[in-house]
Structure 1
Amino acid sequence: MNHIFHEHTTGFTTEPPHLYGRWRRDPLLRVTTGLRKTWFPFWAALERLHPLPADDGLLTLEIVGREVVAQDENVIALTFAATDRSVLPEWHPGAHLDLNLPSGRMRSYSLCGDPGDRRTYRIAVRRIPGGGGGSIEVHDTLSVGDTVTIRGPRNAFPVALPGFGSAAPRLRFIAAGIGITPILPMLAMADRFGVEWSMIYSGRSADSIPFIDELARYRDKVTVRTDDVDGLPSMDELVGPTTRRPHGETDLAIYCCGPVVMLEALRTHLVGRGDIELHYERFSPPPIVNGTEFEVVLNSTGERLTVPADQSVLTAIRAVRPDAPYSCQQGFCGACKMHSTAGEVDHRDGLLTEPEREAGYFLPCVSRCHSPELSVDA
């Protein structure tokens, strides 16, 4: 099909003749033309076109629920609703939203409520005293009745069920601590569809594990173990029983969320197991692969910062600019986006478009540099 636009060149200035030659100008078309020339200008004067408001992707929500969901009281669940209680955008298990905090910080949190409830969103936040301050701000400043702005939901950790997009006949869920948040709605969906699944849930102690009461309804499908009683789980314990299948057949799909150390150990353990799918999400920066040392020049002050081979540009900049924005630290939220004016960026994100990259934008949380130094507007 030809999609090239060609300007219309028809030279008609009056109506064509009647189909059977009875009139020089077709009377029906003359009436239609007259209506068009009078009605549309008249209606346009009454109904002026108004520009639509710009959609910045932000939603303003009200906190309608706040609940402590771990016995040590370090994890709280916040429930949001639209200020007018209208229907919220749809989401699916594994999705997260970006929460804009009063201080200007933005943090990403997994949705851990019921995807079928279109009136509310729920997240859970663990208080981390030595973190970047976002969790402390959530715990200390956000209360029922407050309003916040969010962006999303977005999904970087989707789940495919057996028979509904996955070739695996069964699922295994692995969660550690606050890593339960994206897994919770996955369990509900797997249970609702009647697929075969099991889960292992680990944490430092029973007091520190959130949503333990909510998981009780799944009975023996969920195994809870704590480090202080059971010790650290082995990789075989995390994966559970498996059956080696012929080459090309999948036995198990694993969905895992937890600390980087556990994820990397699990990845190493499953090397060569083509019969097991591994899907995971981490709440901390990924390890840097093939990193080299380079320098970053801050255009605003001329400061020169050394970025070690095992450190991100974002970490180096935050050492001298603690207020530098960031959120996921994994290259998918875009909160830390910066502009470079010199140097060759090694882009390692999956978010920015080619025009954005060509314009000099990059994500300092994951991007590296192919040149000895990189100049940035910061």
Structure 2
Amino acid sequence: MGTLLPIGLPRNHFALREDAAHSVLVAGGIGITPLRAMQARLAQLGRPWELHYACRARARAAFADELQAQAPGRVQLYFGDTADGRLDLARTVQAAPAGAHFYCCGPQAMLQAFEQATAALPAERVHLERFAAQQAPAVQGGFVVELARSGRRLPVAPGMTILDTLLANGIDAPYSCMQGICGACATRVLDGLPAHQDSVLGPAERAANQTMMVCCSGAHSPVLRLDI
């Protein structure tokens, strides 16, 4: 018999709202990858959309010619090696129709500008995907993780994450990115107060303290009781 591999349902933290009144897609560099798929789906459904795509140079912009040829009135291109290459995100957001949903994938500077430009909008209409974590993992240690299913109590030492501690003690915990951006290590919190460091949970989910990413988040309480 070969190796047994666990499988699960696909995870999507950057889902397209297909019923949105209007969709504004903002891509930077290779961040065009998921937004190209969204654009194709919206076009297939006949839904209104616009795409703003920024890149350092046209020669490095994947899909640029194809997109502009398919929908020249809906695709705006911005290249750093041209005089008019700056994407004004604040103006783009202000000019969008009422009720529009906004999507962004690109480098950190673009994501920060996007968050500032959309800060006044309802959170459910703002969607982004990151390439890397916003914060470093919590490795301060000094607390205990209690595993509810077995009753084991594992001290988390300084320099270790919760995931490090679980793996070091033979616990087969699921994980993938180890940066808090994929959601593979999402774990239910039964008691205690997590110190969230991930880029997956939204403000309401963090405030609820029902789930945490054990690869990067720590604890504000001396004990965390987890559904493990």
Both proteins in one fold, TM over 0.5: yes
TM-score normalised by the chain length of structure 2 = 0.62
CA contact (8 A) 1:174 1:257 kept: yes
Aligned to 1:56: 6
CA contact (8 A) 2:180 2:215 kept: no
Q: How far off its partner does 1:193 sit?
A: 1.5
Distance 2:215 2:142 in 1: 11
Structure with the largest fraction of strand: 1
Q: How far off its partner does 1:346 sit?
A: 3.0
CA contact (8 A) 1:294 1:372 kept: no
Rg comparison, structure with higher value:
1
CA deviations on 1:56-95 (whole Å, 9 max, x unpaired) are: 11xxxxxxxxxxxxxxxxxxxxxxxxxxxxxxxxxxxxxx
Q: Among residues 10, 17, 20, which one is paired with 1:160 in the alignment?
A: 17
Partner-residue secondary structure (3-state), 1:285: coil
- 2:115 is the counterpart of 1:254: no
Distance 1:153 1:275 in 2: 23
Aligned to 2:127: 279
Question: Structure 1 residues 190, 277: closer, same or farther in 2, change over 3 A?
Answer: same
Aligned to 1:221: 74
Aligned to 1:330: 180
Q: How far off its partner does 1:203 sit?
A: 1.0
TM-score normalised by the chain length of structure 1 = 0.40
Distance 1:181 1:205 in 2: 17
Q: Among residues 214, 217, 224, which one is paired with 1:363 in the alignment?
A: 214
Aligned to 2:96: 242
Partner-residue secondary structure (3-state), 1:183: helix
Distance 2:182 2:52 in 1: 27
Distance 1:296 1:181 in 2: 41
Q: How far off its partner does 1:295 sit?
A: 4.3
CA deviations on 1:150-209 (whole Å, 9 max, x unpaired) are: x76432211112xx3x3xx21111111111111111111111121221110001111222
CA deviations on 1:5-48 (whole Å, 9 max, x unpaired) are: xxxxxxxxxxxxxxxxxxxxxxxxxxxxxxxxxxxxxxxxxxxx
Unaligned runs of 5+ in 2: 144-155, 166-174, 202-208
Question: Structure 1 residues 304, 286: closer, same or farther in 2, change over 3 A?
Answer: closer
Q: How many residues align?
A: 185
Aligned to 2:172: none
CA contact (8 A) 1:294 1:369 kept: no
CA deviations on 1:201-259 (whole Å, 9 max, x unpaired) are: 0011112222224323222211111122134422234436235xxxxxx4311111112
Aligned to 1:183: 35
Distance 1:362 1:242 in 2: 34
Question: Structure 1 residues 192, 208: closer, same or farther in 2, change over 3 A?
Answer: same
Distance 2:223 2:120 in 1: 39
